[in-house]
């Protein structure tokens, strides 16, 4: 049965709905994260640990996840820029572009990767699609085996659109941050000194 917008507003979730869907989301994230290749993750972390600036580029919700990752990398003391911000400088040789696109075909993200490659920068990418243009440009590639956002009939995920990719992307970037932090002797208090104080 199809509901109108007004009818949807009068439908309330029960506790059972919340419990069921909390389990659904949790289990899908855990199952998908368990299928990520740890060597791919370690390779990407290795690129991040090299000298040079880090640039991040992503669209939509994936872009928001990469902004969170950029903040954590900044806390580690890296020089990090978000593509599209007004003060972001030109990328160049020795820099790293960190990108994410579920499909691997998002035009702005692929264009950023092409520009970075022409400038001699390295590219680290997250995608679901190993055969995508973005994957082909990557020096370090992590495949997240989630449904693409237009794959509405997928058996991989019951969640809407690209939610599972974005959720596991967040988990992956947090894992890489934690791993990079683990190899330093820096206490949390030192990282906190870099936290934004103009909020």
Does the active-site annotation cover 38? no
- What are 184's two structure tokens? 């330093």
User: What is the separation, in whole angstroms, between the first and last Cα of the chain?
Assistant: 46
Alpha helices per DSSP H over 34-160: 38-48, 60-75, 107-118, 133-137
Q: Which residue has the tokens 């199952």?
A: 31
The answer to whether 164 and 36 have CB atoms below 8 angstroms apart is no
Q: Is the dihedral of CA 184, 185, 191, 192 positive or negative?
A: positive
Dist CA 88 CA 79 (whole Å) = 11
* Active-site hit among 166, 174, 189, 199: 166
- What are 8's two structure tokens? 């949807």
Could you give the residue numbers annotated as active site?
166
């Amino acid at each position: 049965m199809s509901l109108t917008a007004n009818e949807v507003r009068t439908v309330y979730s029960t506790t059972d709905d919340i419990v069921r869907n909390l389990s659904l989301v949790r289990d899908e994230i855990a199952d998908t994260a368990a299928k990520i290749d740890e060597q791919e993750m370690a390779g990407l972390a290795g690129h991040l640990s090299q000298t040079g600036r880090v640039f991040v580029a992503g669209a939509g919700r994936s872009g928001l996840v990469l902004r969170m990752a950029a903040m954590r990398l900044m806390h580690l003391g890296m020089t990090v820029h978000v593509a599209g911000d007004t003060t972001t400088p030109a990328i160049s040789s020795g820099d790293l572009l960190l990108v994410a696109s579920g499909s691997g075909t998002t035009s702005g993200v692929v264009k950023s990767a092409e520009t970075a490659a022409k400038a001699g920068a390295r590219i680290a990418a997250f995608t679901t699609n190993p055969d995508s243009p973005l994957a082909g440009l990557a020096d370090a590639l992590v495949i997240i085996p989630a449904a693409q956002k237009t794959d509405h009939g997928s058996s991989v995920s019951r969640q809407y659109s690209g939610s599972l990719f974005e959720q596991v992307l967040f988990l992956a970037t947090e894992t890489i941050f934690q791993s990079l932090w683990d190899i330093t002797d820096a206490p949390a208090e030192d990282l906190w000194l870099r936290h934004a104080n103009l909020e």
